[in-house]
A and B are shown apart, each in its own frame.
Chain A
Amino acid sequence: MTPQIIITLLLNGLFTGAIYGLFASGLTFQLGSLSIANFGYGSWLILAMYTTFFALKIWNVPLAFVVLVLPVIYFAAGYVIRNRLLVGGSLNVQILSTIGIAMIVDGLIILFYSPAPRTLGIIEPLIEIAPGIRIGAIRLTVFILAAVLLVLFQLFLQRSHLGKVIRAVVLEKETAMLMGINSERIIGIAFGISFVLIAISGIMLIHLFPVTTSAGSSYQLMSFLIATIAGLGNMRGAFYAGLAIGVLNAFLLYFAASFVTVVIFSLFVVVLILRSGRTAGMRHI
């Protein structure tokens, strides 16, 4: 157990964790800030992965095109779902509707993309940052991109006018209307923006991992876990929690691989118990 190994595990854990953190932050924004229970989160993520795969490998579309177009389509999808399908619905309606939409998405994936698992099959070039310590270049890139994306999103929310309006609506939906703000439209826009996060996560994920039709639920579960541990609505916290879980995962895999699931779920339960009541109902942004 040399220092090189420890650092390698640490770094790999951080980079994998950054990816978890990225898509968990999208979910935490939807669930915590917008109070929208989107049970189709995972399905949309793998749809993005499948679509990127097909675009790159089968339809011969350049990556730049995918990066520009897919997020726009996802924004529109998010807006339409929130403002045409979910608007005015109770929590139960949201859950059922988003599950229903997820099933349609899953069905479409199988119909158009066939149920075969897909992978871009990219061998990551390695970068030796120090003697004996090598990290994957794609992983590193994704880590940087994820961090940058989240920082930009935070800046958007904090500094831009639209960002402030979104924050105001999230904090006080009715009161915002008193200022002439069409709160429903703004929430739709915010939901659309969170869908953009899903699209970008998907585009990045397929460069590292294979995608299967069942992968959606495990990504969704992991997102939910991380979001809850960090506190719903806390995007920065979700990213950090993702990093932490990535590192924990890496070390557990090395020492006791079969305990990974047990430990992480136990952690989740412990955090839930400790938190119960404290952040319940708090509007975070």
Chain B
Amino acid sequence: MLMSINNLDARVERLPVLKGVSLEVEEGRITVIVGANGSGKSTLLRTIVGLNPASGGSIRFKGEEIQNRPAYEIAALGISLVPEGRRLFSEMTVSENLEMGAYLCRHDKAKVRANLDRVYELFPVLKEHRDRKAKTFSGGQQQMITLGRGLMSSPKLLMIDELSLGLAPKVISEILEKIVVLNKQGMSIYLVEQNVKQALRIADYGYVLDNGRVAMKGTAHALLNDENVQKTYLGL
């Protein structure tokens, strides 16, 4: 098990948001968390990555307990978060953003080069405009930049928070295709998504978060065919 979370509690500004969340992320899989707005999905990612304190429970990554460690330490362990809202270094160019993404392997020039090539291969449009400031790109392209940035550190686990926000369906599909490609190449991916249908379509396993708790879990296929899920989240 790559990552296992046990009974995790977390507060945001004193309000309890996560109430005893338990889940597992298997290596080499695409694991998805879906849920309504305010269910705690983003808080879960932020707590894993060290940007939010955990008030109870544990998070284990490759056997090690990582809850409440500083974010830059957790990044060094191999967890890369592609944050909600993209959070690009807007005034910096594409290549500078990617360079920052490679901070942890900055001393290994060959590795950085290889990672850079992989990102440009996945997203050729970025290579073409790599000296343009990040803020000048469209929403979909910005998502590519932020994804690429997340890949630059050769992470063991790539976590992506709400990648579909503000993007057109066609663009979302394009990017999700790349996610699948990455996964086929061996990357473990942990996706938090509001767009339940598209997310479950590419996932292996999924969790439904409701009001800070895991309400349902199962294979993506099972969840897609579940009546409750269909009614509540798929509008059927």
The answer to whether A and B assemble together is yes
Q: Which stretch, A75-83, A127-135, A175-183, A264-272, touches the partner chain B?
A: A175-183
Name the distance in Å between B156's Cβ and chain A's nearest Cβ: 13
Closest to B50 in A: A177
Q: Give which listed residue, B81, B90, B96, B106, contacts A178 with CB less than 8 A.
A: B81
Q: Give which listed residue, A167, A172, A177, A179, contacts B70 with CB less than 8 A.
A: A177
Closest to A177 in B: B71
Q: Is B101 an interface residue (CB 8 A)?
A: yes
CB <8 Å contact, A181 and B103: yes
CB <8 Å contact, A168 and B71: no
Residues of B within 8 A of A161 (CB): 99, 106
Name the distance in Å between A176's Cβ and chain B's nearest Cβ: 7
Q: Which stretch, B11-19, B72-80, B186-194, B202-210, touches the partner chain A?
A: B72-80
Q: Give which listed residue, B75, B91, B99, contacts A177 with CB less than 8 A.
A: B75
Q: Is B231 an interface residue (CB 8 A)?
A: no
CB <8 Å contact, B92 and A168: yes
CB <8 Å contact, A165 and B100: yes
Q: Is A285 an interface residue (CB 8 A)?
A: yes
- Interface bin, chain A: 10 to 19
Name the distance in Å between A42's Cβ and chain B's nearest Cβ: 30
Docked complex Cα distance between A175 and B88 (Å): 8
Closest to A167 in B: B92
Closest to B134 in A: A171
Docked complex Cα distance between A175 and B90 (Å): 12
Docked complex Cα distance between A176 and B87 (Å): 10
CB <8 Å contact, A175 and B87: yes
Docked complex Cα distance between A7 and B137 (Å): 47
CB <8 Å contact, A174 and B91: no
Q: Is B153 an interface residue (CB 8 A)?
A: yes
Q: Is B229 an interface residue (CB 8 A)?
A: no
Q: Give which listed residue, B87, B90, B91, B104, contacts A180 with CB less than 8 A.
A: B104
Name the distance in Å between A3's Cβ and chain B's nearest Cβ: 43
Chain A positions 147 through 181: 1 when the CB is less than 8 Å from some CB of chain B, otherwise 0: 00000000000000100110110011011111111
Residues of B within 8 A of A168 (CB): 89, 92, 96, 100
Size of B's binding interface in residues, CB under 8 A: 26
Give the secondary structure class of A's interface.
helix
Q: Give which listed residue, A165, A172, A180, contacts B76 with CB less than 8 A.
A: A180
CB <8 Å contact, B72 and A177: yes
Q: Is B25 an interface residue (CB 8 A)?
A: no
Q: Given that A171-B89, A171-B91, A183-B72 are contacting pairs, would A178 and B83 also be in contact in the complex, using a CB cutoff of 8 Å?
A: yes
Tell me the A168-204 residues at the B interface (CB within 8 Å): 168, 171-172, 174-183
Docked complex Cα distance between A167 and B50 (Å): 22
Q: Given that A164-B99, A172-B87 are contacting pairs, would A178 and B92 also be in contact in the complex, using a CB cutoff of 8 Å?
A: no
Residues of A within 8 A of B103 (CB): 165, 179-181
CB <8 Å contact, B90 and A174: no
Residues of A within 8 A of B90 (CB): 171
Residues of A within 8 A of B101 (CB): 179
Name the distance in Å between B180's Cβ and chain A's nearest Cβ: 23
Q: Is B165 an interface residue (CB 8 A)?
A: no
Residues of B within 8 A of A183 (CB): 72
Q: Is B36 an interface residue (CB 8 A)?
A: no
Tell me the B49-76 residues at the A interface (CB within 8 Å): 49-51, 70-72, 75-76
CB <8 Å contact, B72 and A175: no
CB <8 Å contact, A178 and B71: yes
Q: Given that A161-B106, A164-B100, A175-B83 are contacting pairs, would A180 and B72 also be in contact in the complex, using a CB cutoff of 8 Å?
A: yes
Q: Give which listed residue, A164, A165, A167, A178, contacts B75 with CB less than 8 A.
A: A178
Residues of A within 8 A of B104 (CB): 179-180
Closest to A164 in B: B96
Closest to B99 in A: A164
Name the distance in Å between B147's Cβ and chain A's nearest Cβ: 13
Which residue, of A174, A176, A178, has the highest number of chain B Cβ atoms within 10 A?
Answer: A178
Residues of A within 8 A of B106 (CB): 161
Residues of A within 8 A of B88 (CB): 172
Query: Can you name 7 A-B residue pairings with CB atoms under 8 Å?
Result: A164-B99, A168-B96, A171-B91, A177-B70, A179-B75, A179-B153, A180-B103
Extra 11 A-B pairs, beta carbons < 8 Å, given A164-B92, A165-B103, A182-B72: A164-B100, A168-B92, A171-B92, A172-B89, A174-B87, A177-B70, A179-B75, A179-B103, A179-B104, A179-B153, A180-B103
| Those 4 A-B pairs whose CB atoms lie nearest each other, nearest first | A177-B71, A180-B75, A180-B104, A175-B87
